[in-house]
Amino acid sequence: MANIGVIGAGSWGTALALLLYKNRHRVQVWSYKEEEARELAKTREHRSKLPGVRLPGDMEFTWDMKEAAEGKDVLVMAVPSTAVRVTARQMKPFVKKGQIIVDVAKGIEESTLLTLSKQIEEELPEADVAVLSGPSHAEEVARELPTSVVIGAGTKETAEYLQGLFMNEFFRVYISPDMLGVELGGSLKNVIALAAGIADGLGYGDNAKAALITRGIHEISRLGVKMGGAVESFTGLTGVGDLIVTCASVHSRNRKAGYLIGQGMSMQEAMDEVKMVVEGVYSTKAAVKLGKKYGIDMPIVEQVNAVLFEGKDAAEAVGDLMMRQGKPEHTAKPWN
């Protein structure tokens, strides 16, 4: 049995805490809001994020970072991507040398273009940082529906240890040394999911969504490989798999925000309506910058950025994508 601190009491942090508890580990969940921690401890239900999911009577909740982080075998970083760096700083006094920290959020820091694991490593250089990603909506994991994910880590030893902690009969865990590829796939697919949602909001059909998913993974994989990721990561669970579920699922906050934008809402109105962090909004500017930095053409990402931050009409953005100059789908096979 491991002693695990889950840093973040949102839907994903709570679902993973429940999973780890069912795997017979001791679990303590930290919330940055005292009232939320008290409410969870009292009601044994996350009514706003996971209604109807019962939390065990001996699962612990706290708003004290020292209590949550100090002396733990593993810390699961489950805060929104925009809060990862500041939360890591808050954890620093309580993190021991070699401390295993698993980041389960998805995002890229706009100012530095760093993945979340690299941000944690900057703030906590003594830690052993790993990542968990894949097509895994909290609502389904909390209800024990079959799910497969990937853990990326710096060493096989750490990856296999974490695989053993998380894996069970409904939560299958693969491992990978390609932390960068795992993180890029998980982060950039949120931008494409916004595009898919916008297309749905505009009333376009399945053909349009299929095209966005297919060409979206093309953009993601070209950039990811150029940055040093493995192409297999982008054709696997944390690439194609996560992209499909985020573009299509009713649970996807990115798709929902995009849908509302396609229906005529502004970016801020859509985010307010979703009532949860829409990670793709925060990754879009970073994705545009990465594309320019590495010389990769990313037309879908650029049009999403124009709609979100430059006031471009969503229908016009789709029209511009459709009317780009004709080109080959790929160059893998030459003409005869």
Q: What is the pLDDT, as a whole number, of residue 127?
A: 98
Question: What are the tens digits of pLDDT across the range 7-29?
Answer: 999 999 999 999 999 999 999 99
Question: What are the tens digits of pLDDT across the range 88-136?
Answer: 999 999 999 999 999 999 999 999 999 999 999 999 999 999 999 999 9
Give percent above pLDDT 90 in the chain: 93
Q: What is the pLDDT, as a whole number, of residue 336?
A: 87
Q: Among all residues, which ones are annotated catalytic?
A: 189
- The answer, yes or no, to whether residue 185 has pLDDT greater than 90, is yes
Q: What is the pLDDT, as a whole number, of residue 278?
A: 85
* Residue 300 to residues 78, 211, 246, 303, Cα–Cα distance (Å): 28, 11, 16, 5
Question: What are the tens digits of pLDDT across the range 300-324?
Answer: 999 999 999 999 999 999 999 999 9
Mean pLDDT, residues 330-335 taken together: 90
Q: What is the pLDDT, as a whole number, of residue 231?
A: 96
Report how far residue 38's alpha carbon sits from residue 277's, in angstroms, rounded to the nearest whole number: 22
Give percent above pLDDT 70 in the chain: 100
Strands of 171-176's sheet in order across: 60-62, 26-30, 3-7, 74-77, 100-103, 128-133, 147-153, 171-176
Q: What is the pLDDT, as a whole number, of residue 106?
A: 93
Is 288:298 a contact under the CB 8 Å cutoff? yes
DSSP element (H, E) containing 131: strand 128-133
Helices 299-309 and 206-227, interaxial angle, to 10°? 110
Question: What are the tens digits of pLDDT across the range 206-237?
Answer: 999 999 999 999 999 999 999 999 999 999 99
Question: What are the tens digits of pLDDT across the range 234-276?
Answer: 999 999 999 999 999 888 899 999 999 999 999 899 988 988 7
Domains, in order of start, for the chain: 3-177 (3.40.50.720), 180-322 (1.10.1040.10)
Q: What is the pLDDT, as a whole number, of residue 7?
A: 98
Residue 126 DSSP code: T
